[in-house]
Structure 1
Amino acid sequence: MGKFIPGGVSPALVTPFNKKRDKVDEEAYRKLIRFVIDDLGVTGIVPAGSTGEFSSLFWDEQKRVIEIAVDEADGKVDVISGTGTSGTLRTIEMTKHAMDVGADAALIVTPYYMKPSQRGLFKHYSKIAEKVDFPIMLYQLPALTDVTLPRMVVEDLAVEHENIVGMKCSWGNMAYLMEILERVKPVAPDFKILCGWDEIVFPALAAGVDGCILASANFLGDYWVKIKKLVEANKIEEARKTEMEIHKITRIIVKTGAAGTKEALKMMGIKVGKARLPLEIGGSISHELRSELRKELERIGKVEAEPIIPLPEEPEKIEERFGQVDVTAETILQNKLLVGEGFFGGDRHEMAHIDLLIGPKDGPVGAAFARAIAMVKENPEEIEGHEPLLAILDTNEAVKPETVLIPKVFIRNLRQASMVFGPAQAGVAEGVVKCVKEGFIPEKYVNDLVIIASVFVHPQAISRNRVYVNNRKATEMAIRKAVENRPTLDELFESSARHPLKNEP
């Protein structure tokens, strides 16, 4: 391919393992390489890097991973092999292997564990450059190595060794990156600087870096290629908007590394296996972050959206709508309680459905309200996953009439809970306040009434703002219908009554 010049967009390839995670899955690795080259259009690949879990590979495995990458790339893209270790002699051996099998360059992480001095770092890289006549890229990754390459060391290495051709900076510190650009580029114009921190790629490219090596490029390589081209064409605003489409994903990948990257590929139907221990789902990537990652991939079309929970074909019986608080159909009829329902948000995941009861504190609704609150303190195991909560405003003040929310859908994880205990809670509270202000609930009665709201928040909801808005509007709708007695209690009890989710506002 001629002289190696660092640049472009390269994924730091994950290393696929078999089910037991005790062997590299070579066929899966080849398929991944073909995918990033042919489907995503990347300009290089990086085997055996940090995302490739090089520190968990046996020595022979690391060599084989590099060989496969060179063979599968077949000269179509640059192969920048991860060859760094904690020792100079071992790094020289792995770098020689990369050169011998036909890689284009070596990416050498700072020696970790022993924390060498500045002089030690300089001598480490100098020794490798002298012993192996091969393009070398410095690799700064203080989050994992706890070692920082000082700018002066980078500058001296770039000036003194022609085969030290560039640097991957995997650090979210823009001040450091700008110092490298300002001080090293003028004295070593051919020295290339690549961004390796997924969250800051756009500002780094705009500042003048030459390319990027990224974990997220395993599945977002097409986005990064587009963003780089837009920056080069000086279409900065379009590049910024494109990056913002995937920015949340980049934050998740920065937090979760190889484990998160493998999960994303798995969601896209690309077999790469799990990360090797000690990386593990639930630790290196929490179940909540995994759920967030899937929703974001669905949003940008990388993963097919899971089907929305279908609405029941038959109308929901009135006695089933408030069973969680033991309010029976007979109680509703005998006491002529105000029953309302509201649905807002169409067929989106952020749709809101509210069933509510309004009644005096000293009546059956008040008693059910008290039972719901008491259950939280006295018998939490009986309501696990459906824990009631008070509707409160941003000021942490309970609304009047006092309102309790009962989640309809079992809450399985923190992500789901954050949609209910937050945007839905605030939306219901604001809906109640607005109905009081507009006179649907006379202000003189607000201290005498209570409201029980059964709240549906879709487990696949993504937008917190839409959950808030839809629950606010659904609450307003439900209260108005309750006060205006539509549908009437008789209509609610007829077998032909429509399910609330089928009703139009």
Structure 2
Amino acid sequence: MCDFSIKCTHITRPLLAVTALPRKGRASPCVRSVILRFHQYPLKNHRYLMRKHLSHHVFQFIPQWCGWRNTKRWRSWQMERNLFIGEGFEGAGVNLAHINVLAGPRNGPAGQAFATALATPSLGHAPFVVIVQPGIPAKPLTLYVNKAQIESTTHANATWGASQAGIAKAVAESLESGILPAAAENDWVVVTANWVNAQADDLDSVFDNNYRACKQALIAAMEGLPHKDAVFMAARQVSNPFYTPKTN
């Protein structure tokens, strides 16, 4: 495979292999033949083909050429690429919980979202690191972002107290039970965007609903739920707690 496979052995991350080659080499017959052999793409425009498709195929095949496709290093690197997104909804009335989560490596989009949100508070919205107990943050480190502005002492207690506690418990248990990978302990972050109604009147219900909603959101994020068939079925009768169309 000419000098392409030789160059690959010196690349620590597969996607960098193509950019490491000179421009002429990126569209060389060697590289084109690799793509064509595996995927039988038409030869109408080689430069377009390389630009549009090569990054995906290099990601898929270079580890095989370099002999480390099935190694722990490869699996770890593949996991680093992912941003996991989930949603959870639990409860009813003023004590319900609606939570959106982002989870992923610190050096990826989740880490960037974590740092940006923490460093840019606004009036009524001050993201903070979730704690299990004072001085003991949840692991992986989790950022709490409140969707509703704090309007009263009771609302503050529901948000910073009951809701935070429910989320801390859900995140810690998710790491302990394997919902989140072991590497997430120190290499990942979680960002949660949480709705707590300003009229919430039962802190225990707020805690329970936030715990269940966060757990549900993390499971959904890591398992890719819901699947499209469930979404298509639900869309035939779309609704939410604030509105249900008359012509479903």
TM above 0.5, one fold? yes
**Unaligned 5+ residue runs, structure 1?**
1-334, 377-382
Cα distance in structure 1, aligned partners of 2:112 and 2:206: 29
| Equivalent-residue separation in structure 2 for 1:452 and 1:407 (angstroms) | 11
> 2:83, 2:228 → 1: CA distance?
9
Other structure's SS at 1:343 match:
strand
Checking the alignment, whether the CA contact within 8 Å between 1:356 and 1:478 is kept in structure 2 is yes
Asked whether 1:355 is paired with 2:94, we answer no
Please, which of 192, 206, 209 is the counterpart of residue 467 of structure 1?
A: 206
In the alignment, the residues of structure 1 paired with residue 239 and residue 109 of structure 2 have an alpha-carbon distance, to the nearest angstrom, of: 24
Checking the alignment, whether the CA contact within 8 Å between 1:358 and 1:451 is kept in structure 2 is: yes
Cα separation, partners in 2 of 1:361 and 1:500, compared to 1, 3 Å? farther
Q: Secondary structure at the match of 1:452?
A: strand
Alignment of 1:87-486 (within 5 A): 336-345=82-91, 347-376=92-121, 383-486=122-225
Query: Contact conserved, 2:152 with 2:198, CA < 8 A, in 1?
Result: no
Amino acid at match of 2:87: E
- Give the secondary-structure state (helix, strand or coil) at the position aligned to 1:481: helix
Q: Given the superposition, is the C-alpha separation of residues 491 and 337 from structure 1 closer, same or farther in structure 2, using an over 3 Å criterion?
A: farther
Describe the SS at the equivalent of 2:95. coil
Separation in structure 2 between the aligned mates of residue 350 and residue 371 of structure 1, nearest angstrom: 29
> Shift of the alpha carbon at 1:395?
3.9
SS in structure 1 at match of 2:194? strand
TM-score, normalised via structure 1 length:
0.29
**Contact 1:400 1:447 (C-alpha < 8 Å) held by counterparts:** yes
Question: Which residue identity does 1:339 align to in structure 2?
Answer: I
Letter in 2 for 1:361: R
Deviation string 1:309-333 (CA, Å, 9 cap, x unpaired) is xxxxxxxxxxxxxxxxxxxxxxxxx
In structure 2, the CA distance between the partners of 1:483 and 1:406, relative to structure 1 (3 Å rule), is same
The structure with the larger Rg is 1
Q: Secondary structure at the match of 2:94?
A: coil
Instruction: Report deviation, 1:396.
Output: 3.2
- The Cα of 1:413 is off from its aligned counterpart by 2.7
1:467–1:400 Cα change, 3 Å: same
The aligned amino acid for 1:342 is G
Task: Tell me how far apart the structure 1 counterparts of residues 146 and 228 of structure 2 sit (CA, whole Å).
Answer: 24
Rounded Cα–Cα distance in structure 2 between residues aligned with 1:349 and 1:341: 19
Question: For the structure 1 residues 370 and 457, does the alpha-carbon distance in structure 2 shift closer, same or farther, using more than 3 Å as the test?
Answer: same
State the AA in 1 paired with 2:100.
D
Q: 1:361 to 1:499 in 2, by over 3 A?
A: farther
CA distance in 1 between partners of 2:179 and 2:194 (Å): 20
> Is the Cα–Cα contact under 8 Å of residues 436 and 442 in structure 1 kept in the other structure?
yes
Q: State the alpha-carbon separation in 2 of the partners of residues 464 and 432 from structure 1.
A: 19
Structure 1: how far apart are the matches of 2:173 and 2:102? 17
How many residues are treated as equivalent by the alignment?
Answer: 160
Q: 1:372 to 1:490 in 2, by over 3 A?
A: farther
Change (3 A) 1:368 1:489: farther
Q: Evaluate the alpha carbon distance shift between residue 365 and residue 491 of structure 1 in structure 2; reply closer, same or farther with a 3 A threshold.
A: farther
Q: Distance in 1 between matches of 2:130 and 2:188?
A: 14
Question: Aligned equivalents of 1:467 and 1:422: distance in 2?
Answer: 9
The one-letter amino acid of 1:442's match is P
Match of 2:103, as an amino acid? Answer: I
Alignment of 1:486-497 (within 5 A): 486-487=225-226, 496=235
User: Structure 2 length normalisation: TM-score?
Assistant: 0.58
Q: What is the RMSD of the two structures over their aligned residues, measured on CA atoms?
A: 2.8
395 and 500 in structure 1: CA distance in 2 versus 1, 3 angstrom threshold: farther
Q: Secondary structure at the match of 2:144?
A: strand
**Alpha-carbon distance between aligned partners in 1 of 2:115 and 2:229, rounded to the nearest angstrom:** 28
Shift of 1:489: 8.6
Q: Name the structure, 1 or 2, with higher relative contact order (CA <8 Å, separation 6+).
A: 2
Asked if the contact 2:155–2:198 (Cα under 8 Å) also holds between the matched residues in 1, the reply is yes
TM-aligned CA distance change 1:501 to 1:477, over 3 Å = farther
Once the two structures are superposed, what CA deviation does each residue of 1:130-151 show, in whole Å capped at 9, x if it has no partner? xxxxxxxxxxxxxxxxxxxxxx
Deviates most, 424-433 or 441-450: 441-450
SS at match of 2:186: coil
* Contact kept? 1:343, 1:354, Cα under 8 Å: yes
The answer to whether the Cα contact below 8 Å between 1:341 and 1:478 also exists between their aligned partners in 2 is yes
Q: Which amino acid aligns with 2:118?
A: I
Structure 2 unaligned runs (5+)? 1-80, 243-248
User: Structure 1: which amino acid aligns with 2:93?
Assistant: R
Contact 2:127/2:143, CA 8 A, preserved across alignment: yes
